[in-house]
Amino acid sequence: MKVVLVGGGSGGHVIPLREVSREILECNRSVNLLIISNFGYRDRTEQIFKTLLKEHPERLSLKFIYGGKFRRYDRNILQELLDIKTQLLNLKDLLKFMLGFLQSKLILFRIEPLVVFCKSGTGALEFCLAARKKATLITHDSDSRLGLTNKILSKYAKICLFGLPKTVDKIDSKEVIGVPIDSNFKAATKIEKFRARAGLGLTENGKVVLVYGGSLGAAKINEALFENLKELNNLGVQILHQVGSEAALVKAKRLKAGLVRPDLYIPFEFSEKIAEMYLAVDLVIGRSGATTIQEIANAGMPSILIPAQLSDQQKNARLLDLMKASEVVREDELTKNVSILFKKVELILRDEQLKKVLSESVLRLAKYNSAKQIAELILTHRFEPKLVRKS
């Protein structure tokens, strides 16, 4: 039995593929898996799958294809057409799309997958369109609605699954399966917190905050933290900061050297130990992408979310704000008053009742078996029509 899992362009698309792959490989020894991603995210994809590839070298393989992006913004048609630079980039990526589609056809000429699981992202549309008549297609969107890729593919898909509910009253809907993430994202016991802090070189006592904007970082979050770094350091807060780029790391280290307590600030470019860090910290500051929200929910972690200027992240943040499951700070609020971040951190770390409310509320979104459930769907093909949502 051959199964293809496809997605690319970001950790939010590739990490769930790893978690689903792990479940399939452990559950069924007769399945061979092929992971399809795009060339632009090749290095990080190989890094994400490094351990799993070593454990299953004969049953798991990676292939990379070209993938195009269709850039569109919240503007009218005339403004879009007059943006020559954007249209030229779209034209360039149309060529990448055509090349990726041909590469997909060549791959499918050599293999005949029974099921294709689409996590969307760069390269996913190309392969899934090529495979639409050859295999059963299952799509998954981390957010609460179909993205452009899966909207196009929904007419061919047997199941369309979602990571987040559209509204609070849809939390228990069967189509909301959650986002497949590392099983180590969970609420920490006192012993687990002690061990995690010791393993990360943190002091046993004191407050610890994790700041990160995903695997590639987030410039706005980095800059906001840099502006508030001295105040947080003076407050005695230990900070783990995934900056996401070498340039940001250079600046972070320069600022670290000027702190009164430089030992309290630990910047790093990228780490695979984020789940371990969750066990050690008291608060997470990050984007409101669906993967981050799932991590926060499974860990029952108090958070400050700073949504990017994208509709899905804005919608995700509104949902958590309505649930009283996170403190939300908009980018325009940070621009007007950057110290608002320090005030929010100070408030949450000092107010135990607020921490409890945030923790208990976000746990409503926890989904601990997403990867296993998706793996079972792939392996058993038990497709229920009520799980399909086309709009």
Q: How far apart are CA 220 and CA 189, in angstroms?
A: 33
Asked whether the beta carbons of 8 and 41 are under 8 A apart, the reply is: yes
Compute the mean pLDDT over every residue in the chain, rounded to the nearest whole number.
Answer: 92
- Report the distance separating Cα 88 and Cα 93, nearest Å: 9
Note the pLDDT of residue 384: 44
Residue 382 has pLDDT above 70, yes or no: no
Q: Tens digit of pLDDT for each residue in 345-374?
A: 999 999 999 999 999 999 999 999 999 999
pLDDT in tens, 324-351: 999 999 999 999 999 999 999 999 999 9
The 3-state secondary structure of the chain, one letter per residue: CEEEEEEECCHHHHHHHHHHHHHHHHHCCCCEEEEEEEHHHHHHHHHHCHHHHHHCCCCEEEEEECCCCCCCCCCCHHHHHHCHHHHHHHHHHHHHHHHHHHHHHHHHHHCCCCEEEEEEECCHHHHHHHHCCCCEEEEEECCCCCCHHHHHHCCCCCEEEECCCCCHHHCCCCCECCCCCCCCCCCCCHHHHHHHHHHHCCCCCCCEEEEECCCCCCHHHHHHHHHHHHHHHHCCCEEEEECCCHHHHHHHHHHHHCCCCHHHEEEECCCCCHHHHHHHCCEEEECCCHHHHHHHHHHCCCEEECCCCCHHHHHHHHHHHHCCCCEECCHHHHHHCCCHHHHHHHHHHHCHHHHHHHHHHHHHHCCCCHHHHHHHHHHHCCCCHHHCCCC
With a threshold of 0.95, does the pTM exceed it? no
What's the one-letter identity of residue 330? R
pLDDT mean over 296-312: 92
Amino acid letter for position 93:
D
In tens, the pLDDT along 200-248 reads: 999 989 999 999 987 556 899 999 999 999 999 999 999 999 999 999 9
Task: Please report how many Cα atoms fall inside a 13 Å half-sphere around the Cα of residue 35, on the Cβ side.
Answer: 32
End-to-end CA distance of the chain: 31
Total residue count of the chain as it appears in this document: 391
User: What pLDDT shows up at residue 76?
Assistant: 74
Q: Rounded CA gap, 182 and 16, in Å?
A: 8
- What is the rounded average pLDDT of the residues 187-204? 95
Q: What confidence score (pLDDT) does residue 216 get?
A: 57
Section 179-190 average pLDDT: 95
Tokens of 369: 């078996």
Least Cα distance to 56 among 94, 108, 18, 109 occurs for 18
Query: The tokens 């940070």 sit on which residue?
Result: 334
Determine phi and psi for 5, rounding to 5 degrees.
Answer: -115, 125
